[in-house]
Structures are given as C-alpha cells and as structure tokens.
C-alpha cells in the first residue's frame, strides 16, 4: 500500500467535514427551523447556530470575537450545547449555509471561512482570537468547527512522530513475532478466555498500533480492563477515550473496583453518578490537595465580610487589594491542584473530543486506547493522538458493525461509488478501517467467544462475517426463552431460537411514504418505507411471546425504516407496555432476550435499499440473546445481494419457518 501524504489527507478530511456540516444543516433547516443535534456537533467537532455578541481588540491588536447562541434560534436557551472546544483549539468560523442555498453558494461561504484560536470558553460564550487583523466578520448565523485536522495539515514534517508515520503508512508497522508474545503473563482476571488473553498479549507486545476486534458480545470492555491493569503493572501511563460519555463511563465504572489511580475529565453533569468520585472537577474540591485551596477560599470570605463592617474608604480599598491578591493565589493553587491530580493519575479517561482540553496540555502518555473505535470519526481520534504525545495506539471495535452516520453524499460509500480507500477521501472510513486496509489482519486480534447469543442465532453472522470463528460461550449457547428466570410457558416460540415469518408471494407489499405525500418531505426522512401487513405479523408474534409469559420489556422490535417504526409504534406501544421499538442503527451496542426484525421490503422490482448494507443486518441479527424472529419477504430480500441471498437460504434451512395466511392477518386486524 502506498504511503499516504499527511497534509493532503488532512485537507481532504477538512473539506469533507465542511460538506458534512452543510448536508446536516440543509436537512435540519428543511425539517425544522430550529437546530437538531448533528453528528459533528455530537462528535464535539462543531458548534452550530452562533452569532457574534461582542467584538473587541485584544493583546497584540488581534481581533477577538465573542460568540454565543443566536437568540433568533435558541430563544431563551443561552447555554451552549456540549461542544468539546477548548482554549487553544484552532477553529474556523463561517456563515452557516441555509438549506435553500445552492451548492455553489455554499462552497463560496466555506471559502470565506475565517480562522482563529479559542481564547476563552464559558458556559454561554466562546471567544475566538482571529488570525488576521483585518477580516470581514461574516454576518448572519455562524458555525464554528474544531480544526484538529488543520493542526495535522499545518504540522511540519519534522514534528511527525513515528506513530504518526506508521498511521499513514510512511513507516511500516513493526509486526509482532510469536517470540514477542511468548512469555507467560500473570493474569489478574482469572475469567479471561484464550482469545481475550491472546489479544492482550498482542496489544502489549505491539510497538505502535494494535487493533482488538470485538464482534458482538465478545467482551471488548472486559478485555480492555485487564489490558489497562497489565499496562499499569509495567508502569505505563494511559489516555483512555471513547466517542461518547457512556463509552468512557463504562470503563471508569469497571476499573473502579480495582483501585486504579485514575481521573475522568469532563463536566460532572454529563457523567454517570457512579463515576463522579473519579471526576476531575469533583476531586478538585474533595481531595487532600483541595484543602489548601479551600483555606484561601475561607480567607477570602472572611475579608469579604470585613468589608461590610468597614466604613473607612481607605481601609476598604486596602481590603479590596488584599482580596484581589488572594484571588490570584486561589487561582494559582487551584490550577496547581488540578494539574497535580492529573499528573498523579496513571490513567486519564475522557471522550475523544474532551481529550483536547487544556488539562492535558504538556501531559505525556505512553499509550492511547480508544474503545468503540469503529463508531468514531477519524478526525475525532486525532484529538487524543495530537495532545498525548503517545507512541502507541490501541483501538478496540468491530468494523463489521455500523460506522458513524454520515449524511453528505460525496463522502458516503455507496454501491455506485465504492470506498475510495484509506487516503482520507471518505468520512465513513474510520481509523480502524484504515489501519486494516493499510496493514491487513496482522495488525489485529479477534475475540472469538461471545457471551450473548444462542448458538443458532450466532451461526449465520459467524459464518458469513467472522470466518466461522465466532463461538457461543457454554453459558449462553443453549439458553431459550422458556429458561428465563421467571415463569415462561414452553411453546413453539419460547422453545425456538430462530423463527422466520416469510411473506413471499407478493401479498405483503411495501408502501413508500411519499405515495401520498410531497416527495421532498419524505425523502428527508430517508425515503421511508413501511409495510402494514408485515407490522401485523410482528404484532401477532409479540402477542404470542407475551401470552407465553415473556415480559414486554424483554422484547425489542427493530427495523431499518422510520416509516415502519411509526407504524409499529401505533400498533404495539400502548398494547405492550415496556416493549422497546427502535431503528436498527439506534440499537447498536444493545441487547434483548427476544428481538423481532421487520425487514419491510417487498416489491416486484426486488429493491432492498438500506438492507444492502451488511453491517446494518449484522447489527440487527446480533441483538438477541435467546430468540430472533425475522419477518420479511424472501423473494425480494433474497435477490438484494449475495449476503442477503445466503441469509435467506440459511433461514430457510435452519429457522422455524412460518408462512403467514393473509386472511388470518386481516381477520386479526
């Protein structure tokens, strides 16, 4: 594989990120007048809907602009949404395209972007010092974008670390030899399985970059906990990140019983209550070092009180002076307290964008670990990589499940426009994907025992996607609904791990939601499809599970189409209180005892749309523990792709097959 040029990679990513933002804005502008959370905003890479609330000249004659939420959009809400921008971040500010703007106009706006550095971040404002003195500040609604990629673009070659060069294929990754992994490790967790142990040994032995490939339910986090503890035994310092707060908190919670010296960065209001005692903000107030800070606070309060008692103007002025000095000291001590807490922590945990914070400035780490790496945009992963100075990266994820959602069509890998390779010209390509494309399977180890699914549910994904290496653990391989720890009757459903309701025959036809609606609106909802008769079969199946005693909260129904979700909600939500209904994409990372998948597509043209994405199907079929029920038209679906054809064949041979009777269904309705 040819080495990748870093500046041109960063440049392509920057253009794609800008296009992605435009695409999202276009969509939200048409759907609603107010702003909706977007992928980039959620990823901490952008803040939308801002306006300039003040402008002044700062040190060195630089223009400073103060940005806050545009009141025309935000109404009474003044607090900025979570954004991850920190003092020192390079940002671009530009006019926010309106949905109606033509592509050319939008591109012109992007060109007019002005660059600057964040100098102040408060709850309600962000102040940016502009790079150039005389610039036209754009009018109207603005957006601001984190420019980690700009940093990468502008970084001189002499500053590129060995790890960076390896990540771009400019130096090759040193491959790990069996002898490097030969020594016996003393395992801290006796329950680890062999593939987990192998992955840990591999990650420890790898000099630069290692991938831990964790298919559904295989204990990625379980493995990372042992890996972190083993690294600590070797005296290494770690920066551990994930794309979401919950992914990071999950690790903090599981490390906590092991008394690891760690600190979690991030606003306490966004952390799980169970991890608060590791939050940097909280520790700054409660630790021993905090006592010194508190003493000064008390002294300041006492002085403040004495002012009220003093009538003499000169004395008052003197006390004010003293308070000012004390305040300075207070700030210094607080900063020292924070920095010593961080310095003493062998493990620092933060979201990917949170890792860009000033707390980590001049902090050195040996290794960056990213959990759920195949759900993160590559631009996000570069935040901890650029701040940490680490020489090694460990990514844990599963590239065979869904990547982060991308809206801009010029970045999406579609059938007509297949993946364009690892050169940065596709936002959907994650760092995890790119490493696999660059170095192949030698760079990863796969976890092969899953602790979720019955072996019959496991069989197809294992064979079709995981080279038949994925096995069900002894403890789960034969679990059925009838064995649930509460009273469930033995029926043909509760005794069966995989059921397929095949609607072939053309009677259960799909409906396109724009059949009776204006096209533009429905295409925004993802050209949504629904299938009411199929939904009726779902209802019948759920009813029979519930009649057998399965609790509604142990059942989930998932579908790829929002249109079908709306139909299912109407039919099931009130009748089966506690049942979970969701899109397949939204259910990634979750599990349920029983899962019903409604495939929707049934048409004479054999069009399957969204279903052609095998990573989506993989997510759908790997959510259940004890019972998977698929409802769909094998004639339509089976002709969608090779993968779909083999899935339909598998179901026909292995599932408990059911053919619905239309009269029956209509009668039940």
Q: Which residues bind ligand ATP (CB under 6 A)?
A: 191-193, 196, 214, 216-222, 451, 589
Q: Closest distance between ligand ATP and the C-beta of residue 647, in Å? A: 21
Q: Which residues face 541 on adjacent strands?
A: none
Q: Which of 584, 636, 645, 647 is nearest to 608 (CA)?
A: 636
Residue 144 pairs in a beta bridge with: 47, 93
Count the residues in the chain.
Answer: 669
**Interacting residues of 664 by C-beta distance below 8 A, sequence separation 6+:** none
Query: Smaller CB distance to ligand ATP: residue 191 or 362?
Result: 191
- Cβ 379 to ligand ATP shortest distance, Å: 23
Closest approach of ligand ATP to the CB of residue 493, in Å: 25
Nearest distance from C-beta of residue 208 to ligand ATP, angstroms: 23
Max intra-chain CA distance, the chain: 96
Residue number, 306 or 405, with CB nearest to ligand ATP: 405
What DSSP string describes 366-417? Answer: SEEEETTGGGS-HHHHHHHHHHH--SEEEEEE-TTS-------TTTS--SSS
**CB-based contacts of 190, cutoff 8 Å, min separation 6:** none
The CA distance from 221 to 397, in Å, is 10
Strand 262-264 to strand 347-351: parallel, antiparallel, or no bridges (unpaired)?
Answer: parallel
Which distant-in-sequence residues (6+ apart) come within 8 Å of 193 by Cβ? Answer: 219, 447, 448, 449, 473
> What is the sign of the dihedral through the CA atoms of 284, 285, 286 and 289?
positive
Nearest CB to ligand ATP, comparing residues 214 and 560: 214
Question: With contact defined as beta carbons under 8 Å apart, do 425 and 451 qualify?
Answer: no
DSSP-assigned letter for residue 646:
H
CB of residue 215 to ligand ATP, shortest distance in Å? 7
Element at 48 (helix H, strand E): strand 46-57
The two tokens of residue 485 are 């720890």
**Closest distance between ligand ATP and the C-beta of residue 236, in Å?**
21
The per-residue DSSP string of 173-221 comes to PPPPPGGGG-SPP--S-TT--HHHHHHHHHHHH-SSEEEEE--TTS-HH
Which is nearest to 239 in space by CA: 387, 412, 107?
A: 387
Q: Which is nearer to ligand ATP, 202 or 382 (CB)?
A: 202
Nearest residue to ligand ATP, scored by beta-carbon proximity: 219
For residues 6 and 423, give the distance between their C-alpha atoms in angstroms, rounded to a whole number. 9
Minimum distance of ligand ATP from residue 541's CB (angstroms) = 25
Cβ proximity to ligand ATP, 258 vs 412, nearer residue: 258
Instruction: Determine if residue 427 is left, alpha or beta; phi over 0 gives left, psi from -120 to 50 gives alpha, anything else beta.
Output: alpha
218 vs 598, beta carbon nearer ligand ATP: 218
> Containing H/E element for 110?
helix 103-111
Instruction: Output the smallest distance, CB 203 to ligand ATP, in A.
Output: 15
The smaller minimum CB distance to ligand ATP, of residues 217 and 638, is found at 217
The encoded tokens of residue 442 equal 């030698």
Task: In angstroms, give the least distance from the CB of 628 to ligand ATP.
Answer: 16
When the beta carbons of 220 and 479 are compared against ligand ATP, the nearer one is 220
Give Cα separations from 61 to 121, 339, 487 (angstroms): 20, 31, 75
Find the shortest distance in angstroms from Cβ 192 to ligand ATP: 5
Smallest distance from ligand ATP to CB 265, Å: 21
**Nearest residue (CB) to ligand ATP, 215 versus 356:** 215
Judged by beta carbon, residue 334 or residue 371, the one nearer ligand ATP is: 371
Question: Would you say 91 or 453 has its CB closer to ligand ATP?
Answer: 453
Shortest CB 346 distance to ligand ATP, Å? 21
Q: Which is nearer to ligand ATP, 242 or 422 (CB)?
A: 242
Q: Could you tell me which of 615, 545, 552, 548 has the C-alpha nearest to residue 584?
A: 615
CB atoms within 10 A of CB 474: 10
SS3 90: strand
Nearer to ligand ATP among residue 113 and residue 450 (C-beta): 450
Q: In angstroms, rounded to a whole number, what is the distance separating the alpha carbons of residues 314 and 612?
A: 80
Compute the least distance from the CB of residue 291 to ligand ATP, in Å. Answer: 38
To the nearest whole angstrom, how small is the minimum distance from the Cβ of residue 118 to ligand ATP?
34
Whose Cβ is closer to ligand ATP: residue 46's or residue 400's?
400
Encode 466-499 in three state secondary structure: CCCCCEECCCCCCCCHHHCCCCCCCCCCCCCCEE
CA distance 366 to 635: 54
| Identity of the residue, 402 or 533, whose beta carbon is nearer to ligand ATP in the bound complex | 402
Judged by beta carbon, residue 195 or residue 528, the one nearer ligand ATP is 195
Kindly tell me the sign of the dihedral angle through the C-alpha atoms of 651, 655, 657, 662: negative
User: In the bound complex, what is the minimum distance in angstroms from residue 476's beta carbon to ligand ATP?
Assistant: 9
Beta carbon of residue 218, minimum distance to ligand ATP (angstroms, whole number): 5
585 CB burial (10 A radius; 0-12, 13-18, 19+): middle
């Amino acid at each position: 594989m040819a080495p990748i040029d870093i500046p041109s990679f960063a440049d392509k990513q920057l253009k794609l990120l800008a296009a992605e933002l435009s695409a999202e804005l276009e969509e939200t502008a048409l759907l609603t007048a107010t702003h909706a959370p977007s992928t980039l905003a959620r990823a901490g890479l952008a803040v939308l809907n801002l306006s300039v609330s003040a402008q002044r000249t700062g040190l060195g004659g630089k223009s400073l602009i103060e940005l806050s939420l545009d009141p025309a959009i935000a109404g009474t809400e003044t607090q900025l949404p979570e954004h991850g921008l920190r003092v020192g971040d390079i940002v671009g500010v530009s006019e926010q395209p309106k949905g109606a703007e033509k592509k050319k106009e939008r591109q012109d706006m992007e060109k007019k972007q002005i660059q600057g550095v964040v100098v102040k971040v408060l709850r309600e404002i962000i102040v940016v010092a502009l790079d150039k003195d005389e610039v036209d500040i754009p009018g109207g609604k603005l957006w601001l974008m984190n420019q980690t990629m700009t940093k990468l673009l502008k970084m001189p070659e002499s500053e590129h670390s060995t790890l960076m060069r390896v990540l771009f294929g400019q130096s090759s990754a040193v491959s790990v030899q069996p002898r490097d992994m030969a020594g016996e490790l003393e395992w801290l967790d006796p329950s680890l399985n062999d593939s987990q142990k192998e992955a840990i040994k591999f990650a420890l032995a790898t000099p630069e970059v290692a991938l831990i490939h964790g298919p559904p339910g295989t204990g990625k986090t379980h493995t990372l906990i042992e890996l972190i503890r083993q690294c600590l035994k070797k005296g290494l310092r770690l920066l551990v990140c994930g794309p979401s707060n919950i992914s990071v908190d999950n690790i903090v919670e599981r490390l906590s019983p092991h008394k690891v010296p760690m600190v979690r960065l991030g606003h306490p209001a966004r952390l799980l209550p169970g991890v608060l005692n590791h939050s940097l903000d909280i520790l700054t107030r409660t630790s021993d070092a905090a006592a010194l800070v508190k003493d000064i606070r008390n002294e300041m309060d006492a002085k403040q009180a004495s002012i009220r008692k003093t009538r003499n103007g000169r004395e008052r002025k003197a006390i004010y002076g003293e308070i000012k000095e004390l305040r300075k000291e207070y700030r210094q001590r607080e900063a020292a307290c924070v920095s010593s807490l961080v310095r003493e922590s062998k493990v620092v945990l933060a979201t990917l964008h949170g890792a860009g914070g000033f707390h980590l400035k001049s902090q050195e780490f040996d290794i960056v670990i990213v959990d759920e790496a195949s759900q993160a945009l590559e631009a996000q992963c570069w935040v901890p990589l650029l701040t940490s100075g680490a020489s090694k990266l460990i990514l844990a994820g599963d590239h065979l499940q869904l990547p982060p959602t991308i809206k801009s069509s010029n970045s999406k890998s579609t059938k007509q426009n297949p993946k364009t390779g690892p050169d940065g010209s596709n936002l959907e390509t994650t760092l995890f994907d790119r490493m696999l494309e660059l170095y192949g399977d030698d760079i990863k180890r796969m976890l092969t025992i899953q602790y979720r699914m019955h072996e019959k549910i496991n069989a197809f994904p294992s064979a079709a996607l995981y080279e038949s290496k994925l096995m069900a653990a002894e403890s789960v391989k034969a679990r059925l609904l009838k064995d649930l720890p509460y009273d469930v009757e033995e029926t043909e459903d509760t005794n069966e791990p995989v059921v397929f309701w095949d609607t072939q025959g053309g009677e259960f036809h799909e409906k396109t939601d724009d059949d009776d609606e204006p096209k533009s609106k429905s295409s925004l909802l993802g050209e949504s499809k629904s299938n009411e008769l199929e939904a009726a079969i779902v209802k019948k199946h759920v009813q029979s599970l519930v009649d057998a005693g399965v609790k509604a909260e142990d059942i989930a129904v998932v579908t790829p189409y929002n249109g079908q979700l709306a139909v299912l909600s109407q039919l099931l939500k009130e009748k089966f209180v506690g049942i979970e209904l969701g899109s397949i994409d939204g259910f990634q990372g979750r599990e349920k005892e029983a899962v019903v998948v409604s495939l929707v597509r049934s048409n004479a043209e054999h069009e399957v749309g969204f279903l052609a994405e095998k990573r989506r199907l993989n997510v759908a079929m790997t959510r259940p523990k004890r019972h998977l029920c698929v409802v769909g038209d094998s004639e339509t679906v089976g002709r969608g792709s090779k993968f779909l054809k083999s899935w339909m064949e598998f179901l026909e041979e292995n599932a408990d097959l059911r053919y619905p009777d239309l009269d029956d269904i209509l009668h039940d309705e």
